[in-house]
Structure formats: structure tokens, C-alpha cells
Amino acid sequence: MRIAIVNDVIMAIEAVRRVIIGSREHQIAWIALNGAEAVQRCGEDTPDLILMDIAMPKMDGIEATRRIMARTPCAIVVVTANVDDNPSKVFEAMGAGALDAVNTPVLKHGGNSDGGSVLLSKIETIRKLIGIGTGRKNGATLQRHGNRNHQQECLLAFGASAGGPAALAEVLSSLPSDFQASIVVVQHVDAYFAQGLADWLNGQSPLNVRLANQDDNPEAGEVLLAGGENHLVFEGPHRLGYTRFPVDCSYRPSVDVFFRSIDRFWKGDVIGVILTGMGRDGAEGLRILHAKGHYTIAQDKSSSAVYGMPKAAAELKATTDILPLSSIGPRLAQLVTQRIRTHA
């Protein structure tokens, strides 16, 4: 891949540069010393991936990410001194469209970079993500069984990727504290950041947000977030669990794998939602839910930080509605209220 580096610290640039060059699989597209320069350079020569620092002069990495995703979108990973020091800034950058975050490698005596293997692992994950764009379906095909029980609790299922944290925060913050539907979210995020994301979303929403655990039962008024290296799935009619299968998915956890497990096991009503994100994960799963008569929503282009996953869903005609982000929360509240009145 052609990779750009954006950082104002020369030692950090050199450490990252050596990791990339040393892999012999990637090349440096260009180097920028601040966010403003990165926006300009990206407009002239858009790379496959940008490794973006957060704190920089003239324009920080968050604003640079926001402008790049609006003008010349490409994959962006936050590379900063210590992601644990500024989790809110990391999630803000992810809300603007960054896909992941990692600590900056440290240049050691002798020219080696400590932390280089972790960075290369992140780059490899992004490479696989970028490579998805041919409509290839992820995950094993799951067969549905049993009849839907419309009196059972309604399930609201979200899938999101780049830009997802901020989008989820806006939607969840607009739902009432007595929201009468179970909510499960699959957001593409490194397992390392999953707990921090759950804590951050919990502060943005009147609903309780926490990581989903093995054997959890979704309950109304609670938001369960996929966390870990494995796929979150339904293992029974009302029981969640984690599985490493299918092992060949570029996304872990996968929205498609989760949506297919809903189709297999969940016996009640479902509302499926695809928010902003890069790639196609979730589009095929949403199509399956839509074909079974469930209500499905995709975020529209103008409000998406990255119009990849919602676009793929729209192209598959997998959506009942295509809505701007600001309208999704109110529409969900309306749908759940209508359902309650219908079954009263």
C-alpha cells in the first residue's frame, strides 16, 4: 500500500517510516508535518492509508480527518504517542472517520522501532479492509429456523465502522430512557478500545451501554456492544455469544455474521440499521433481514463520514428507509412506539 505519514515530531516520523520501509510490502506516499498540509497533500495525491497524529500545529488530526473524509476519503488510522492518555480525542477522530488507533512506535538505539509489529498488524487489517469492494460475501450462510413470534421483544441491531462512534452517540442520545427495544451494536473497533468506546457511549446516552458478554440476554433499555476479537452472534433465540467462525472474515467482529445469526435465531421483530463505514460489511446481512420482512434503515450519503457500508446496502436494495443521521433516532422511537401500540 501507499501510506502517508502525518506528524509534527521528526523522531516519530522516522520511527513510523522505518517500520513501513522495513516491511518491504508498503511504500511512503508522502509526509506532512500538520493537518492542514495533510489535507492539501491528500487532495493532490490520495494515498491508500494515512497514519495520522492527533495533536499538531495549524490543524489537529481530528479536523484534518474530518476534512479529508469529506473531500478525498481514504483509510485513516490514528497514530499517537499514547492512545490511553486521550481516549476522548481518539474516539472523536474515529467519529470523524478514522478506522482505528495505535501507539506511535518508539525509535530505539540501533535504529529499531519498538511497537512496529503492532503498527504493521493494524496496517495489514486495513489492507484487507480496503481490498473488500467486489461484493464478496463474508461469513458462513446460516439457515433460519422456527417461526417469528411477534409478541416477543423487539430487537434493534446496529452495524457501523468508520465514523460510527459519533454516529452511534447521536442516535443513542436521541432515544428515550424507557426505550422498549433491545439494542445490540457491532462497531468495527479494535478489542483494545471496545471497553473505552462502551464507557464513552454510556456517557452520551440515557440508556445503559456496556460490552456484550458470553450468554448475555438482550433486554429493553440496554445497549450491548460487541467487544473482543471474535464475532458476536446469537447462539439461541435470546442468547448472545462469541465465535471465531468464520475465520476468514476481514472484519472481526463482522456485522454480516451478526445479522445472519439474527435471521437464524431471533423470533421477534427486528429493526436493522447500517451506519457510516468503509467497505461492504453488513449490506448482505441487512438484505437478508429486509427480505424476511424486517424494517431496515441505512444512513444517507450526506450525513455519513464514509459512505461505504450504507451505499452497499442501498445498492442491494436492502433498505426500507435511507435517512440522514439526525432522523434515524426519532424514526426508531416512532417505529418502536407504533409496535407497542399494535401489540397492546
Domain 2-130: give its CATH superfamily: Response regulator (3.40.50.2300)
Let me know if 302 is a catalytic residue. Answer: no
**Whether 16 contacts 105, CB under 8 Å:** yes
Let me know if 145 is a catalytic residue. Answer: no
Three-state DSSP class for residue 315 = helix
Cα 64–chain centre separation: 19
C-alpha to C-alpha distance for 79 and 102, rounded to whole angstroms? 5
Let me know if 48 is a catalytic residue. Answer: no
Query: What's the pLDDT tens digit per position in 285-325?
Result: 999 999 999 999 999 999 999 999 999 999 999 999 999 99
Query: What's the pLDDT tens digit per position in 201-254?
Result: 999 999 999 999 999 999 998 999 999 889 999 999 899 999 999 998 888 899
- Single out the catalytic residue among 53, 256, 281, 300: 281
Which residue is associated with the grid cell 424486517?
A: 294
For CATH 3.40.50.2300, list the domain ranges present in the chain.
Answer: 2-130
Cβ neighbors of 90 (< 8 A, separation 6 or more) are 54, 78, 80, 83, 101, 193, 196
**Whether 136 contacts 281, CB under 8 Å:** no
For CATH 3.40.50.180, list the domain ranges present in the chain.
Answer: 155-343
- Single out the catalytic residue among 60, 100, 113, 161: 161
Identify whether 47 is preceded by a cis peptide bond (ω within 30 of 0). no
- Single out the catalytic residue among 26, 174, 182, 188: 188
pLDDT category at 111 given cuts 50, 70, 90 is low
Query: What's the pLDDT tens digit per position in 63-81?
Result: 999 999 999 999 999 999 8
Q: Would you identify the CATH topology of the domain 155-343?
A: Rossmann fold (3.40.50)
Which residue is associated with the grid cell 512496529?
A: 116
Q: What is the pTM of this model?
A: 0.78
